[in-house]
Amino acid sequence: MNAPGAGTALPLAATEGKRVPFIRLDNANPELMAELLAVVERIASESAFTLGPELERFEQNFAAYCGTEYGLGVSSGTAALELALRGLGIGPGDEVVVPTYSFIATAEAVSTVGATPVIVDVEEETALINAEIVAAAITERTRCVIPVHLFGRTVEMDPLLELCREREIHVVEDACQAHGALYRGKPVGSLGDAGCFSFYPTKNLGGWGDGGAFVSDDPELSHRVRLLRSHGEGTRHHHEIATGTHRLDTLQAAILDVKLGHLEDWNQRRRDAAAALGAALAGSSVDLPVPPIAHGDNVFHLFVIRSRHRDALRDHLDACGVASAVHYPTPIHLQPAYADLGLGPGSLPVAERLASENCSLPIFPAIEDWHIAETAAAVTSFEVPTDN
Ligand SMILES: *Cc1c(COP(=O)(O)O)cnc(C)c1O
């Protein structure tokens, strides 16, 4: 019933059988592939698979990129968040404020260290938390806040940092979707006590599997996280903390080190693609992403539009040969994993609205003009249902 009506011209992509992909990864770029496969061959021939100088080189380069003193490769973005919290001594009895509109990992990290996630709503326009929202959730048990730079957009950090500093509350940035985004000229991840990044393959900086990084200027916290990521091993065979292994594979680090050199260019291409998409969609039936705050940024991990007829719009896009996705269809507080928090439907209404109306359009550094044109044509040709 959501198929385009009679007389609706299908844009080119559908008629040609060419589809606009949601994302393209490294295998679509032969030059980069050759360079990365050579890296894999080198690491494999050295059998340099865990820790070591190749990992350290990437850690130094990534920390420098983030403008922090310390950087540590870890096994995932989720592990980075978890180890940052453990490194800060956060555990049972402590509360950590997290937005409900995020990937579930933001809250999971709080749960897995035994602390209590205090799940809050987000701003309507940006889908981010702000100081006001956090202030209303603070209790005497609040030990930490995790702002999420969602979709690549920077959270308004200064008021939040001020609020937290006054109360000795830690700030751990979830920068898993915002590698390289600047706030007042400083990269995200360098603004709070620690920054956490994911190198999941589809992220702005993605590896060939799972990976993540912790960055910080705090020497003691960084030292603890270094111990926590690998058997609590300070010096060889001397284990100071029972913790397990949460390392970034050296192979991943070496691949990421090559890709890090392209990140600025790739982020700029995302911004340019977003500008082109935004211009092409002006005046259409959908709400476009608002511009970043004056001293903020958006590195467009995702290009997310809003429509009250989101599901019908997505069916139309699909019929036009344009891929789309939803980030995220269910806010964290409505996930079964968090049912025992007792936050039912209607409790965090902004995020619930966003979850039912948001639609992510294709965006990636190698996006081509025709991808943008077809996407815009598909969105623009969507006929908004009139009977609701
Ligand atoms: C991807 C992501 C994570 C978790 O990263 P993994 O590497 O998949 O564990 C955490 N938070 C946000 C906002 C993310 O997008």
The CB of 128 under 6 Å from ligand 1? The reply is no
pLDDT of residue 2: 39
Q: Which atom of ligand 1 is nearest to the CA of 210?
A: 7
357 touches 306 (CB < 8 A): yes
The ranges assigned to domains in the chain are 26-260, 262-380
To test the ligand 1 pocket, which listed residue (85, 106, 172, 304) has its Cβ within 8 A of the most ligand atoms?
106
Q: Is the pTM of this model over 0.85?
A: yes
pLDDT of residue 3: 41
Mean predicted confidence (pLDDT) in 265-289: 97
Report how many helices (DSSP H) and strands (DSSP E) the chain contains, helices first. 13, 13
Instruction: Give the Å distance between the CA of 50 and the centre of ligand 1.
Output: 22
How far apart CA 179 and CA 256 sit, in angstroms, is 12
Q: Where are the beta strands (DSSP E) in the chain?
A: 70-74, 95-99, 116-120, 142-145, 170-174, 182-183, 186-187, 194-198, 212-216, 233-235, 238-239, 303-306, 358-361
How many CB atoms within 10 Å of residue 41? 10
Confidence of residue 178 (pLDDT cuts 50, 70, 90): very high
How far apart CA 363 and CA 384 sit, in angstroms, is 24
How far apart CA 229 and CA 304 sit, in angstroms, is 34
Place of tokens 């990636």: 364
How far apart CA 18 and CA 324 sit, in angstroms, is 15
DSSP state of 292: P
**To 10 degrees, what angle do helices 250-260 and 53-66 make?**
40
pLDDT of residue 7: 42
Both tokens assigned to 127: 């889908």
SS3 of 153, please?
Answer: strand
Burial of 136 (0-12, 13-18, 19+ CB in 10 A): exposed
pLDDT of residue 386: 85
Mean predicted confidence (pLDDT) in 204-223: 98
Q: Mean pLDDT lowest for which of 6-10, 85-89, 317-321, 357-361? A: 6-10
The CB of 154 under 6 Å from ligand 1? The reply is no
Model confidence pLDDT, tens digit, residues 96-147: 999 999 999 999 999 999 999 999 999 999 999 999 999 999 999 999 999 9
pLDDT of residue 320: 97
Q: Which atom of ligand 1 is nearest to the CA of 149?
A: 13
Model confidence pLDDT, tens digit, residues 342-377: 999 999 999 999 999 999 999 999 999 999 999 999
Mean predicted confidence (pLDDT) in 283-298: 96
How far apart CA 259 and CA 264 sit, in angstroms, is 10
Per-chain mean pLDDT for the chain: 95
CATH for 26-260, among 3.30.70.20, 3.40.640.10, 3.30.365.10, 3.30.300.30? Answer: 3.40.640.10
Model confidence pLDDT, tens digit, residues 18-29: 899 999 999 999
Whether 388 has a pLDDT exceeding 90, the answer reads no
Write down the CATH number for the domain with range 262-380.
3.90.1150.10
